[in-house]
A and B are shown apart, each in its own frame.
Chain A
Amino acid sequence: MSTARDRTEGAVPIVLVPTGLGASLRRIGALLERYMFLLRSSGIRLVELLYWPFLQMLTWGFLQTYLAQTNSPVAQAAGVLIGSVLLWDILFRSKIGFSTTFIEEMWARNLGNLLISPLRPFELVVALALWSVIRLSVSMIPVAFAAYLIFGFNLLDLGLSLAAFFAVLVLTSWSLGLISAGVILRYGLGAEELAWSLAFLLLPICCVYYPVSVLPDWLQPIALALPPTHVFEGMRAILLEHRFDANDLWWALGLNVVYLVIGYVVFGRFLASARVNGTLLQLGE
């Protein structure tokens, strides 16, 4: 459906109807195209996507190899540490992908142009979320393959649960990304540090490298209220005890829905607040 407007100048733009699902998908596609252009514009960016996950995997892989030479049965369990690292990186890289892409618009002083265009805030959020998965794939697939070649750890050994783990971690990363983006919208690039550090807040609590039972009693309910905790517990259960608790994962997905709603509400509130406080005028300056 299109409407060509009456005018006398040359090459009249055929402006498509701006409402409806098709229009939303078109705008989301335009943003994804912009992010792809940006990634292609710099080989360094591509290398950077692989660099840190690869270093992490190497470090923890060698540690795993060393521990495997000891008599500890836990340490000898196949790939627990590398598995933890790779799964943590899914959460962390997805969060960074979401936040960095958003911050790039502010560094480029382009957010004003985006926010006056027909783009809706939820379309921006969907584009950021989809792009975070694309970035993650570019980053993690080669690194997971390298882990198999170097240490013989096959992430696919986690079986179908891997897809569920992936979904839980990515959904959590979007919640964190939404909160970071909202705070940066409201408080400007001065709050940029939050984008980098928010995921690390979860690191000690969601039991990446140790079981929940290690935590003090009062901290355990908080840990279990975090979706990633169920992923890392689930991974250890598969690799060490060869069992998989699907109920645990459903619980994690349910929690994620709650956190995503909270994240979007926080983002929406901060965006509204930025419009009231006039901070959108100064962003990036």
Chain B
Amino acid sequence: MNEKVSKFAAGSGAAPTGAAQSRVPAEVRDLTKTYGAVTAVDRISFTLVEGTTVALLGGNGAGKTTTIAMLLGLVVPSSGEVRVFGEDVSRHRGRVAHRMNFQSPYVDLPARLTVKQNLTVYAGLYGIANAAERIAYIAQDLQIAPLLDRATGKLSAGQKTRVGLAKALLNAPDLLLLDEPTASLDPDTADWIRHKLKNYAETRGATLLIASHNMAEVERLADRVILLDQGRIIEDETPAALIATYGRETLEEVFLDVVRGRARGESDRAERERKAS
């Protein structure tokens, strides 16, 4: 399996560092993260193109969350470079933080505060001048208006996800990073969330990067899939191209081929052997 450099890369010149920020949402170059002897992310490179939705796919420990954390500036790379809108997030995260946001079921909002209080605080942190108007709009859009005065900790998983998404959309981010946005949700709620994300990306022209295990989600949302295995990029294609390349019918079958170590072209043979046995 060879490491791949994204064919979606929008040029290889140095990102601008002046006041005018780059239109390229994210550029990752030779990004590596090691923890002692463990290499979590191994020399990956890709570029996110404005207005596209990209899925980071991979098994547990493939490096998805670490990659997102480096894009957010929560983790410093061991080597390589991460630029968001042209800014090196390891050094100048503050210049672009207001244009990004993040949602994950593994990061909570304070449980004791009501939903409205939490959203008010984050509206303040993101510098949203028309906070009340924006919160009212988002609450209506994500159907959380009846929850606004309830303690966040007393909500169901589905309700918490919607509230987390409300927080992530408060500043209408140009780059939205999502870590398993529909984990532990029932199919109906998960489908509803996907619809909202797709709608947001289309109306806003925003760029989405989604780490997920859910193939249905990826097939529905993603324009492009980056497959990670043991910290390396092993595929970077559109979902349709991946399915065609591996000779499979679904992305889930492709994913299984990849995590079980079957390279392109081997899948048909493996399938025949499985049926024969």
Contact = CB atoms under 8 A, between A and B. Distances in A.
Nearest to B77: A276
B113 A18 contact: no
A261 B122 CA distance: 29
Interface in B185-213: 200, 203-205
B125 A117 contact: yes
Contacts of B130: 11, 13-14
Nearest to B135: A11
Contacts of A202: none
Interface stretch (A1-9, A139-147, A175-183, A241-249): A1-9
Contacts of B76: 272, 275-276
A18 B129 CA distance: 12
A93 interface: no
A74 B100 CA distance: 63
Contacts of B136: 11
Given A7-B172, A23-B127, A281-B75, A116 B122 contact: no
Given A2-B129, A10-B141, A285-B106, A42 B124 contact: no
B127 A37 contact: no
B121 A16 contact: no
Given A33-B124, A114-B125, A7 B97 contact: no
A29 B127 CA distance: 11
B263 to A, nearest CB: 30
Given A13-B134, A278-B69, A42 B126 contact: no
Contacts of B200: 9
Contacts of A116: 72-74, 97, 100-102
Interface centre among A16, A119, A281, by most chain B C-beta atoms within 10 angstroms, is A281
Nearest to B111: A108
Contacts of B114: 37
B18 to A, nearest CB: 14
A112 B151 CA distance: 20
A34 B128 contact: no
B109 interface: yes
Contact of A8 (B113, B151, B203): B203
B107 interface: yes
Given A33-B124, A113-B122, A275 B75 contact: yes
Contacts of A120: 94
B137 A280 contact: no
Number of contact residues on A: which range applies? 35 or more
Given A11-B137, A18-B94, A116-B74, A42 B112 contact: yes
A27 B106 contact: no
A30 B128 contact: no
B121 A31 contact: yes
Nearest to A45: B112
A8 B113 CA distance: 31
Nearest to B131: A13
A27 B124 contact: yes
Interface in B60-110: 65-66, 69, 72-76, 94-95, 97-98, 100-102, 104, 106-110
A70 interface: no
Interface in B134-155: 134, 136-138, 141, 151
Interface in A240-285: 272, 275-278, 280-281, 284-285
A118 interface: yes
A111 to B, nearest CB: 8
Contacts of B204: 7-9
Nearest to B129: A14
A276 B77 CA distance: 7
Contact of B110 (A9, A12, A108, A276): A108
Interface centre among B35, B95, B110, by most chain A C-beta atoms within 10 angstroms, is B110
5 contacts: A113-B108, A113-B167, A116-B100, A276-B75, A285-B106
Given A18-B97, A280-B69, 20 more contacts: A8-B203, A9-B172, A10-B141, A11-B130, A11-B133, A13-B130, A14-B130, A16-B127, A18-B127, A31-B121, A34-B117, A37-B114, A38-B110, A38-B112, A41-B113, A108-B108, A109-B106, A112-B102, A280-B74, A281-B69
Interface of A: 2, 5, 7-19, 23, 26-27, 29-31, 33-34, 37-38, 41-42, 104-105, 108-110, 112-120, 272, 275-278, 280-281, 284-285
Interface of B: 33, 35, 40, 65-66, 69, 72-76, 94-95, 97-98, 100-102, 104, 106-114, 117, 120-130, 133-134, 136-138, 141, 151, 167, 170-172, 200, 203-205
